[in-house]
Amino acid sequence: MSKFDLFLQQIFNGLVLGSIYALVALGYTMVYGILQLINFAHGEVVMVGALVSLWVSLKLIASGVPGPLVFVLGLTAAVPACMLLGFLIERIAYRPLRRAPRLAPLITAIGVSIVLQALAMMLWGKQYKSVPQLIPAIPLHVGGATISTLQLFIIAVSCVLMAGLLVLINKTPLGRAMRATAQDPTVAGLMGVDINRVISITFIIGSALAAVAGVLVSQNYGIAHYYMGFLLGLKAFTAAVLGGIGNLTGAMLGGVLLGLIESLGAGYIGDLSGGFFGSHYKDVFAFLVLILVLVLRPSGLLGERVGGRA
Amino acid sequence: MTLARLSAVLAALALWGCGKTESPAPEASKPAGDTQQAAAPASAPAPTEPAAPVVKIGLAVPLTGPQAHLGIEIRDGAQLALDEANEAGVMLGGQKVKFELMAEDDEANPSKATIVAQKLVDAKVAGVVGHMNSGTSIPASKIYSDNNLPNISPSATNPKLTEQGFKTTFRVMANDNQQGKVLGEFATGKLGMKNVVIIDDRTAYGKGLADVVERTVKASGKTPAAREFTDDKSTDFQAILTSAKGKKPDVIIFGGMDPQAGPMAKQMKSLGLTAKLVAGDGVQTPNFIQLAGADAEGHYASSPGVPLDKMAGGSAFADKLVAKYKTKIELYAPYGYDAASLFVEAMKKADSADPAKYIAALAAITHNGVTGPIAFDEKGDLKGGLITIYQVKEGKWMPVETVGGN
């Protein structure tokens, strides 16, 4: 494998990782855009999505349904389940606190995250669970690098969903209501926008994306467990901040960039530093990026100045 | 199954919640059947003195988290040993005693382990079976030593554990100096390894094992192509495996546990990396095969001791444990059983459950356990520990060779 092939391979790895980060980051950024709230329970929604689809898939496989169909059915179970979960999280944990100081919903967000982890642990157990391969992962060779059909599928699904979301936000009446609510909830309300409905829908859409991300990530690594949402959520949050939190395109860009940074960083730091730094700094890259962005450009790459709003 | 799970969760919650009550946790974490009866004495502690004096044996292993499956089987193994002692009836100092297990969850977390250790000391247990991991055993062993409380780790294999010079620290499994050496020699010798990349999970166990392997490989005149790192929570190894692939290894040695090794084997396959994975006892589990699926095929892992079905009382032990607790034995249950049995045997020999009195008997013990003959050297390490290397063949761990005796 030549140096270039290795580089190409790391780019592929980064793109797959990044498109998952992007899907999850969208959920953070949509909620932040409208409520200025960091929904720290969002990573847990990803986890629930993965585990629900796994649970349904295992039942279906036992009754002999073919793989890709199981995937679709698992997804159609996970997405509504997470939509409902997202709706309930907002209704129970955030709406009563909408007029409270901003720290209060942040604390309930962390509380919801812990509760969901504990519930998942009780429902599905503590073990790492093996996820059956439902989408065929046929390796395709591009030069000396390999990308599997599953990974291409992940990138494709992410792109389609992101494009769909952009259309929804920018071209539909619902999207206009969402943008109006983000700009000024009070005025939007006076103009006849049902704020509560818009906020609920925002959570529902974000959670649906999280469910898809959960299913994809568990397919990619062949593993799911009650703790999987935590670190993924933090990384996606970082991606959202990197791109400019509150900005949809920013979240997508941030996600893909973060995936690439991590992949290339972990892949090359050992050789570049002559073995002084090693690949155990992989997770450090994400959070180093977070710190750098917050210090140097708090509004993120594509974000507008948020000073007035905060 | 769900009830047992629920009671384990309740036990974990009880651990958080309590502080003033004496010890509700061990009752709560007993196997599901006993939960109801056990709830009563927990809520009404001191006044009703039971007929036989109770000897409490502490147990500290992860009962929640990714490694809980291994901790739970140690707990069940130890419980079985104490149940059998109670059934047979043990007389200490002229009185019939009743052994009770006080099981605590250390979450495989070193800082939690020291809290649990102190809790067991405060509860005045007579001995501790634990901890499971090297990273938890090492800091906890200091606390036990300071309080003259013997502890026997069923499974911690980092050499440092017994190198601290504590008189109270024992283990019933060969250590990583022995295991790492065997793994390194196996890779360079029998596997005919040409180029190796070593990966570890930065835990005391994983790093310790990988370090010994690295030394052994170097001693054979070969230089590892790279040393890569991950952690004990990761599931994404694409970046390090890709960078490893650039070094064209034919062997990848992993110091770590099965939750990482499973996905790692899968990702090796998807990256077109044909090297053989060679790992230690943390990977030699059915869970690894389940997580890696078909991609587990052909990989190697070692485990201290001999296969369960080759142990003296292995299959009888497995039958009993499954009959009683429906425990799935992956790895450590026989070691948990032997560790608990050693306490009972040493106490019988010294005719006392007082650590100060029975510790000499424990240090000098020769005992025929399920895992084989057990005796300790002056450091508390197992004398002449055997190591077996296994390979996954047709979805099962098959023994390749047993190497032994230091």
Split at pLDDT 50, 70, 90, the class of B235 is: confident
Residues 2-61 of A with CB under 8 A from B: 3, 6, 9-10, 13, 16-17
Closest CA to B216 of B258, B241, B183, B173: B183
- Alpha-carbon gap, residue B161 to B324, rounded angstroms: 33
pLDDT of residue B31: 44
What average pLDDT does the segment B215-236 reach? 89
Q: Which two tokens stand for residue B47?
A: 């006044």
Distance from CA of A7 to the nearest CA of B (A): 9
What average pLDDT does the segment B213-224 reach? 92
pLDDT of residue B14: 45
pLDDT of residue A309: 40
The mean pLDDT value of chain B amounts to 85
What average pLDDT does the segment B309-319 reach? 83
pLDDT of residue B41: 46
Residues sharing a CB contact under 8 Å with residue B250, sequence separation 6 or more, in sequence order: B193, B194, B195, B196, B274, B275, B276
What average pLDDT does the segment B213-234 reach? 90
Chain-chain contact of B227 with A275 (C-beta, under 8 angstroms): yes
pLDDT of residue B333: 92
**Which DSSP category does B376 fall into?**
B
Split at pLDDT 50, 70, 90, the class of B384 is: confident
Helix (H) or strand (E) holding B222: none
Contacts of B272 in chain A (CB under 8 A): 139, 146
CB pairs under 8 A between A and B: 117
Distance from CA of B286 to the nearest CA of A (A): 12
Q: Which two tokens stand for residue A130?
A: 């093996």
A146 touches chain B (CB under 8 A): yes
pLDDT of residue B18: 42
Contacts of B229 in chain A (CB under 8 A): 278-280
Residues sharing a CB contact under 8 Å with residue B307, sequence separation 6 or more, in sequence order: B314, B388, B390, B399
Give the percent of chain B with pLDDT over 70: 87
DSSP string for A70-104: HHHHHHHHHHHHHHHHHHHHIIIIIGGGTTS-THH
pLDDT of residue A133: 86
Split at pLDDT 50, 70, 90, the class of B48 is: low
pLDDT at B98 over 80: yes
Residues 65-84 of B with CB under 8 A from A: 65-66, 68-69
What average pLDDT does the segment B77-96 reach? 92
Closest CA to A71 of A84, A54, A87, A86: A54
Q: CB neighbours (10 Å) of residue A293?
A: 21
pLDDT at B27 over 70: no
pLDDT at B185 over 70: yes
DSSP string for A208-273: HHHHHHHHHHHHHHTEE-TTHHHHHHHHHHHHHHHH-TT-HHHHHHHHHHHHHHHHHHHHHHHHHT
pLDDT of residue B51: 65
Q: Which two tokens stand for residue A100?
A: 């409270």
Helix (H) or strand (E) holding B402: strand B396-403
Of B66, B229, B271, the CB nearest to A280: B229
Contact call for residues A228 and A50 (beta carbons, < 8 A): yes
Domain boundaries, chain A: 21-229
Chain-chain contact of B9 with A121 (C-beta, under 8 angstroms): yes
Sites in chain A below the pLDDT cut of 50: 306-310
Chain-chain contact of A122 with B226 (C-beta, under 8 angstroms): no
Q: Which two tokens stand for residue A192?
A: 């006849």
Measured between its terminal Cα atoms, the distance across chain A in Å is: 50
Give me the domains of chain B, ranges plus CATH numbers. 50-174+311-374 (3.40.50.2300), 176-304+387-403 (3.40.50.2300)
- Give counts: helices (H), strands (E), chain B: 15, 15
Burial B75-100 (b: 16+ CB within 10 A, else e): bbbbbbbbbbbbeeebebeeeebbbb
Q: Could you give the dihedral angle defined by the CA atoms of residues B162, B252, B278 and B163, in that order, rounded to the nearest 10 degrees?
A: 0
- Alpha-carbon gap, residue B210 to A38, rounded angstroms: 40
pLDDT at B13 over 60: no
DSSP string for A192-205: T--HHHHHHHHHHH
How does pLDDT run across B242-286, given as a tens digit for each residue?
988 888 999 999 999 999 999 999 999 988 899 999 999 899 999
Tell me whether residue B324 is exposed, middle or buried, using C-beta atoms within 10 angstroms of its C-beta: 0 to 12, 13 to 18, 19 or more. middle
φ, ψ of residue B231 in degrees (nearest 5): -135, 180
Chain-chain contact of B69 with A126 (C-beta, under 8 angstroms): yes
Q: Is the ipTM of this complex over 0.85?
A: no
β-partners of residue B121 are: none
**Which DSSP category does A302 fall into?**
S
Burial B107-138 (b: 16+ CB within 10 A, else e): bbbbebbbebbebbbeeebbbbbbbbbbbbbb
- Alpha-carbon gap, residue B212 to B5, rounded angstroms: 37
pLDDT at B224 over 60: yes
pLDDT of residue A275: 67
